[in-house]
Every structure is written in structure tokens, then in C-alpha cells.
Structure 1
Amino acid sequence: MSTLRVIVFNADESYAPTLRATLTSFDFVRIVAEVDEPAILPHVVKQFQADVLLLHLDPSPDSVLPIAGEVAVSNPQLAVFALSESTDGQLILSVMRRGFREFITKPVDAGILEDALRKISVQQENAPPQGKLIAVLGTVGGVGATSLASNLAVELASMTAGRVALVDLDYRFGQVATFLDVSPTYTIADLASSPEQLETHVIERALVQHASGVHVLSRPTHFVQSDNITAANCVGVLTGLARMSDYVVVDGPNRYDVGATAILDLADLTMLVIQLMVPSVRNAQRILQGMQEAGFNLDRTRLVCNRMSRESATLPASDVEATLNKKIYFSIPDDWPTMSASINLGEPLSTHGPKTRVRNAIRELAERIHVPPSSGGAAEESAKKGPGLLSKIFSD
């Protein structure tokens, strides 16, 4: 089944977590944009390639329907769904006369909504496949997220004949280009300046190809350019890259904020990089809690423990899992001499240390992503163990 790209309109902030949780529980759905102003709907539909426009009409259907009706008429390829707690016959009739595909009442029956979305997805079977978007999110500075993202992209590039893109979302201090020793002419800032849906040739021009085959999209050259990049700009760029790539590996978002939600909505897989240290685990706990409260499907989030070492005075992994109520999906061994030399030389581990344990671990992680386990990539079971010695530390 093809991935279904959905634009969500919702002016009721209190309902956003519930709506997001429902949509992200469907593994074939990706939210490409969330809108809360009816006036910008035509622009958003033009900027983002989508299959479905889901409109939450409450609390004021009359303010949404006129513009939404125009969007439905001018975009016949777009399936428009309406969602409301009202069962008023006149409202339903008005919705259907405007060419909407479905009217769904609240509280939403997830099965009914899923069936309706699956019908649209089946109709899209002949559409070009979308690449998988992998977000690598660090919990603290220096946790190794950029190293992981860069080397993961290189390993994936060796496993697929298609394109693998690597995007730096640390707009001010990102070092992806440095880690791979490439010198970009254009950056994400050049793509973000376009208000329209990005054409393939425009994106191509901004990418610089590394010797491994990875196509790098670098952070802006100047600080001032960073201020002009919005979440909508970023999602537009990532959506465009997904159309032309097998994998898009994103170094970031570099902080969990309002802008990050748009990227996490779009991600097929989020890798939350931790170390077995109190600051990292504290932040991981806050991020996971924030994502859960916002309605994100945590089944798409994996804990990756970096710099795992028996010699280090780190926290017990079992206690960290119990604290976070989530299993560690993958562990990467500590080999700072190899990793630091690789960074300083601007060489991926596949070149600088092809037979090292740390390189082999990242390659194994890439293989898991490229060829999921027989379980079909099902979510990890939550940690069952009761609170351990960390319970007091993290209960503040």
C-alpha cells in the first residue's frame, strides 16, 4: 500500500493531539502539513503535494467551508474529508455539494476513518513511491547525532541503487558538510526561499554529491538566512527530496520545539539518540513525554544508545529502559579515537575505519532499516521492569 500524504486543517488547538494520534496510528499515513488559518489553505495545497485534505470544521464550519470548497473544486485530484461533531443535515448536505469525499462525525471511529483513507491509498497505487524519511534527533549536545546521521546515510547509500539524501537541519551550527568534507554551492536556505512546490531540477542544483553516493543538503552559509526558514519551508524541501530519493536522512530537528512537530509528523522513523548519562536520559524522557502529549505515534520512534561501553561509569541500560518505558532499539559501541579521527579528516567510517566495531554497528543498524526484521518492523515492547535506582532521579 502506498504512503498517503495528508494535509490537516484544525483551528482547535485542544483537539490537535487527539487528531494527530488518530492519524499517526495508521502506518500508511504521513502528515505533510498542519494548518490553522482557512485563508492560507489554497497556498498550502499548492505548496505541498498531498493526497488528502482533512478538515476539522469545528468550532466554526462557516469560516472554513467557503475556502475549502474552492480548494476542492480547483484540486479535483485531492480527496477532501470533513470532520465535525455536528450531525446537522444541512451541514452534511453543504459539505457534499462542495465535492468533499467524506463526512466523518466525532468522536471519530478510527476504523471508519482508516477504511476511508485506505480506499484513497489503494487508488494511489500507481503513484511513484515515496522515499523513507529518517529523523535523527539528539537528546543533548555532543551525543553523536550528526555522526550517526552521516554514517547511516553512507551505509544506506551502499545498499540501494536509488538516491540517499542527507539533510542538515541545524541551521546555524550544523556540521554535516564538514563531517563528509564537501563544499556546497547552495544550501537549504536557497530552497526554502521558494514559495511554490519545488521542482526536481531545483532540488538537484542544491545538492552536493559525496564520493559514497550520498547527496548532501547543507545548512545555510550565513546566520541571517536561518531566521527566514520556516517549518513549512523545511517540510516542503523534505517532501520534495522524498519524491526523488529512496531514503532521506535528516540530522535534526536539533531541538524539540514547535517547528520540530512538522518534521516529526513527516518522518517514517525517528531515531532518538541517547547516552547512558543523566542529562541525556532526562531530555529523552521530556521529549518522549512531549511527543506523547502531542499525539505522536511513539511506535515510529526508536531509542539508539550511542557510545556504549562497559568501562564507562554509565547508568544501567535496564534502568534507563524502565525510566523511559521504552526498549533500547540499538546500541553503538564507544570508539572515540576512531570516530574523532574520522570527523577531523572528513571521512565516513566506511573509509576511515571499515573494519571497526563502531562502523560495523552502524552498518547493522542500516541493514535493519533497509531490510526490516521478520516482525515487519513492529514497535518495540515497552519495558516491563519496575522502577530501579533511577526512579528517584527522574521523578522530579
Structure 2
Amino acid sequence: MGIVTNTAEAAESWTLDVGDEGIHLILSEQEVAASDILGDRLSGQSLTLSMLAPSASLPSQLVSEAKAIILEVMPDDEASMRRLAALRAAHPALLVVAAVRNAEIPLVRALLRSGINDVLPLPLQASELTAILDHLRAEITAKGGQNVKTGQLVSIIKSVGGVGATTIATQAASLHARSVRQAGERVCLFDFDIQFGNAGTFLSITSPLTLADLLQGGNRVDRELLGSVTLETPTGLHVVTAPTEIMPLEAVNAEQVFRVVELAQRNFDTIYLDLPGNWTNWSMSLVARSEVIFLVCELTIASLRQARRQIALLRDQGIDPARIHVIANRVEKKLFRAIGLADAAAALDHPVNLSIANDFPLVSSALDQGVLIQELKARSRICKDMADIVDCAMQAVEARRQAEKG
């Protein structure tokens, strides 16, 4: 056992290394002092204790080497909450436990909904830490070094209704599935617009089983049921269609949503989520877990105003703006448009690097036939624009793989 001081940090920042099982405990100086974990209280346990301020950035090497992290969180400190959200989003396969003082039940539920694996009360007691360490060790052992698949989430949200988000979701997901099919990768599209979802219609597919069967399946939801609900299109895209009957947004159980999505992540490499226009706790949590967030808008004042509000909301939730990719849909040729992409970026205070050319007859024909636009006019400008969206998602996949390799 020894203390390793990180000279790159402030003097009060240090690491106590006890074993090498990849379990890290990160506390502030005050919480270390308030705990009873030092001395011989953790005899026989293996973990690395790092002392960092609740809002301090996490060392990248520490995170890349970790299999589990117990992290102090201060709910009333925005920087501390952003740190937690960023850790969860950047490392979806990592076991994360939030250590919190005076954690009320609503806060605990919110943390669990956001993808945190467990919550530990502060000040930290050796007996409680030992119990959570045993649990984490069992989880790590269960994974057993296996290559457990954790598919990437790609969320599609909209500035306002009718901007073409579902069209982009179905077309981009289909292109993505076709492009990775030979490599053995699997892509799935979930239509989470439980009231007005049209993904199945746009792809000309129907099924007696829908998302509703998964949301109402409780503990019966498993790989077999997921396989029964999904339909495979000719491009290789697997689709879970929206419920046939309109469901109230508040009737959806958030924990069941997360159970379904986590199951999908274990069975698919990339999961596109076509989300409803109205925000819920569960839809915001899904966006927070997504590596890529496509925000679809049009180059109109009304649409851009709402898109700016959406971006502000996501930033307030601690979501990294770099994960938000604005797609300007139905963009006219320069000669005919009053608002350009540069104008839109200035209005949003956010880059607009993706756009879809306006070709209503071509898009309408493809949707009516339930086929890819590429199948009707492969050399069209709109096909290139769709390919750019897929490239953006695939580059994020590769970036995460490289990050996980270290």
C-alpha cells in the first residue's frame, strides 16, 4: 500500500493505491476526512482512492483504466453534476456509483434513470463501501473480460413537429445498416414517438408486435421477445415500430424504457432512437446516454428559435455540445433561400455542419414506396447529404472504440 501524489494537480490531490482490480473511489478532502475508511478498516479490499474536488476534471488515464468508479457528487453544484453526466455519456459500459450526501428518494431515482448503476450515501462508512465493492467486483467478474457488446445510441430530436426528423431517421438508419451489413454489424431503429410515430409507415412495414409489447413486458423482456418484436428490412435494418394505439407519455415506465434500450445495446452495434417532440424524464435520459444527438430543424425563424431553446436545454442538462449535431432540413439552393447555414449557426450559437437539400418530389416518392431515396436516384444531392449524416454517426462509433481501447 502506498500514497502516490500527482504533481500535475494541486498539493491536496493524491491517490492511495490498494490493489489493481480497476475499482476507483474519488472523494473530496472533506469527505475523506469525514469517512471511516482509512487505516485498516478496508483490510483485504482492493481499490484506488483518489482525492479530488467534487467539480474537478477526472484524469483521462484514470477513467480509461477503470472498470468501476465510485464518484462523489454534489447535486447543488452544476460542475459536479456535469462531471457525472459526462462520465456516464462518454463511457456507457463503465460501472458508475454516485456517492451523495442527504440523497432524497427523488434524487436517487433521477440518478438511476440517468444510467448510474447505484447510489452510495455520504459520509462514507467502511461497511457500506465494503458491500458496494463486493457488488462491483461481482459485476466485473460476471463480465469476466468477455467482450460485452454495448451498442451506440444515436438520438434524433426535432426543433418543432413536421421538420422531417422521422424521414431522416429511417433513411439514415437504413443507409447505416446497409453499409455495415457485410462487416457483420447490426443496426436497429426504435420509434419512441409513442403517440405519432410513423417510422413503420415510411418503411412500408407493419407488425402485430410493437414497442408497446416491450414497454408492457416487464421482466419478461429478453432477447427472444426483442427478436420477435423487431422487423428486418431489405437493407438489414432492424425496426421496432411505434405502438398501434396512442399511449400517454406519462404512462411509460422509465425503468422499463431503460431495460429495453440496454437489452438492445447488448444485441445491436448501433441503435437509432426516433424520439417524441415533447420532453419526458425518460427521453431526456436517453439523449443524455447517446453518443450522437441529431437535432433536426429548418431554416425558418420559428424552427431556429425552437432549436436554440433545445440546445440550451441540453447544455443545461450537462450534455456535451460536441455531441449535438444540427441538421438543417429542406435547404433550398443559395439563390432561393433567405437564411443561410452560416446565419443559422450564428442564430443557434452552435455549428450547423449537416444539411439536407430540398427535393420534395423525390423524398415524397421514396416515402410513398417505402424505399431508400438512394434506390430511386442514387446520384442525387440528397443522397450525399444523407451519407454525410451516416458518416457522422459512424465516426462517433469508431472514436468511441478507439477511446475504449485506450
Q: TM-score normalised to the size of structure 2?
A: 0.69
Classify 1:335/1:21 alpha carbon distance in 2 versus 1 (closer, same or farther; 3 Å).
Answer: same
For 1:356 and 1:215, locate their aligned partners in 2 and report how far apart those are by CA, in whole Å: 26
The aligned counterpart of 2:90 is 28
| Kept after mapping to 2: 8 A contact 1:82/1:100 | no
| Kept after mapping to 1: 8 A contact 2:160/2:277 | no
1:67-106 alignment to 2 at 5 Å? 82=120, 84=122, 86=123, 91-100=124-133
Classify 1:312/1:255 alpha carbon distance in 2 versus 1 (closer, same or farther; 3 Å).
Answer: farther
Q: What is the CA distance between 1:150 and its match in structure 2? A: 0.3
1:141-156 alignment to 2 at 5 Å? 141-156=161-176
1:132 to 129, 152, 159: 152
The aligned counterpart of 1:307 is 330
Q: What is the CA distance between 1:53 and its match in structure 2? A: 4.7
Counterpart residue identity of residue 270, structure 1: I
Classify 1:199/1:327 alpha carbon distance in 2 versus 1 (closer, same or farther; 3 Å).
Answer: same
What's the secondary structure of 2:386's corresponding residue?
helix
Q: What is the CA distance between 1:2 and its match in structure 2? A: 10
Counterpart residue identity of residue 246, structure 1: D
Classify 1:328/1:58 alpha carbon distance in 2 versus 1 (closer, same or farther; 3 Å).
Answer: same
Classify 1:226/1:295 alpha carbon distance in 2 versus 1 (closer, same or farther; 3 Å).
Answer: closer
2:234 to 211, 236, 241: 211
1:120-199 alignment to 2 at 5 Å? 126-160=146-180, 161-196=184-219, 198-199=221-222
The aligned counterpart of 2:10 is none
For 2:214 and 2:399, locate their aligned partners in 1 and report how far apart those are by CA, in whole Å: 38
Classify 1:2/1:208 alpha carbon distance in 2 versus 1 (closer, same or farther; 3 Å).
Answer: farther
| Kept after mapping to 2: 8 A contact 1:139/1:272 | yes
Q: What is the CA distance between 1:221 and its match in structure 2? A: 0.8
| Kept after mapping to 1: 8 A contact 2:194/2:247 | no
For 1:138 and 1:64, locate their aligned partners in 2 and report how far apart those are by CA, in whole Å: 28
The aligned counterpart of 1:260 is 283
Counterpart residue identity of residue 95, structure 1: E
Classify 1:97/1:375 alpha carbon distance in 2 versus 1 (closer, same or farther; 3 Å).
Answer: closer
| Kept after mapping to 1: 8 A contact 2:157/2:165 | yes
The aligned counterpart of 1:317 is 341
| Kept after mapping to 2: 8 A contact 1:79/1:100 | no
The aligned counterpart of 1:39 is none
The aligned counterpart of 2:362 is 338
The aligned counterpart of 2:298 is 275
Once the two structures are superposed, residues 244-302 of structure 1 have per-residue CA deviations (whole angstroms, 9 ceiling, x without a partner) of 11111111143234332111122111001121111111111111111111222222111
Classify 1:124/1:152 alpha carbon distance in 2 versus 1 (closer, same or farther; 3 Å).
Answer: farther
Q: Is the counterpart of residue 362 in structure 1 residue 362 in structure 2? A: no
Classify 1:190/1:362 alpha carbon distance in 2 versus 1 (closer, same or farther; 3 Å).
Answer: same
Classify 1:329/1:168 alpha carbon distance in 2 versus 1 (closer, same or farther; 3 Å).
Answer: same
The aligned counterpart of 1:40 is none
For 1:130 and 1:274, locate their aligned partners in 2 and report how far apart those are by CA, in whole Å: 29
Once the two structures are superposed, residues 290-334 of structure 1 have per-residue CA deviations (whole angstroms, 9 ceiling, x without a partner) of 111122222211111111222444323223212322111311211
The aligned counterpart of 1:52 is 95
For 2:129 and 2:83, locate their aligned partners in 1 and report how far apart those are by CA, in whole Å: 23
Q: What is the CA distance between 1:156 and its match in structure 2? A: 0.5
Classify 1:221/1:52 alpha carbon distance in 2 versus 1 (closer, same or farther; 3 Å).
Answer: same
For 1:126 and 1:97, locate their aligned partners in 2 and report how far apart those are by CA, in whole Å: 25
For 1:258 and 1:213, locate their aligned partners in 2 and report how far apart those are by CA, in whole Å: 31
Q: What is the CA distance between 1:169 and its match in structure 2? A: 1.1
Classify 1:124/1:339 alpha carbon distance in 2 versus 1 (closer, same or farther; 3 Å).
Answer: farther
Classify 1:127/1:308 alpha carbon distance in 2 versus 1 (closer, same or farther; 3 Å).
Answer: same
The aligned counterpart of 2:31 is none
Classify 1:167/1:6 alpha carbon distance in 2 versus 1 (closer, same or farther; 3 Å).
Answer: farther
What's the secondary structure of 2:125's corresponding residue?
helix
For 1:202 and 1:293, locate their aligned partners in 2 and report how far apart those are by CA, in whole Å: 37
What's the secondary structure of 2:251's corresponding residue?
coil
For 1:349 and 1:139, locate their aligned partners in 2 and report how far apart those are by CA, in whole Å: 23
| Kept after mapping to 2: 8 A contact 1:189/1:220 | yes
Percentage of pairs with the same residue? 20
Counterpart residue identity of residue 131, structure 2: R
Q: TM-score normalised to the size of structure 1?
A: 0.71
For 1:320 and 1:307, locate their aligned partners in 2 and report how far apart those are by CA, in whole Å: 14
Classify 1:362/1:52 alpha carbon distance in 2 versus 1 (closer, same or farther; 3 Å).
Answer: same
For 1:359 and 1:24, locate their aligned partners in 2 and report how far apart those are by CA, in whole Å: 35
Q: What is the CA distance between 1:125 and its match in structure 2? A: 5.5
| Kept after mapping to 1: 8 A contact 2:100/2:119 | no
Q: Which structure is higher in RCO with an 8 Å CA cutoff and minimum separation 6?
A: 1
| Kept after mapping to 2: 8 A contact 1:136/1:253 | no
In our comparison, the structure showing a higher alpha carbon Rg is 2
The aligned counterpart of 2:23 is none
| Kept after mapping to 2: 8 A contact 1:169/1:254 | no
Counterpart residue identity of residue 59, structure 1: N
Once the two structures are superposed, residues 68-97 of structure 1 have per-residue CA deviations (whole angstroms, 9 ceiling, x without a partner) of xxxxxxxxxx9867474x4xxxx4324324
Q: What is the CA distance between 1:197 and its match in structure 2? A: 7.3
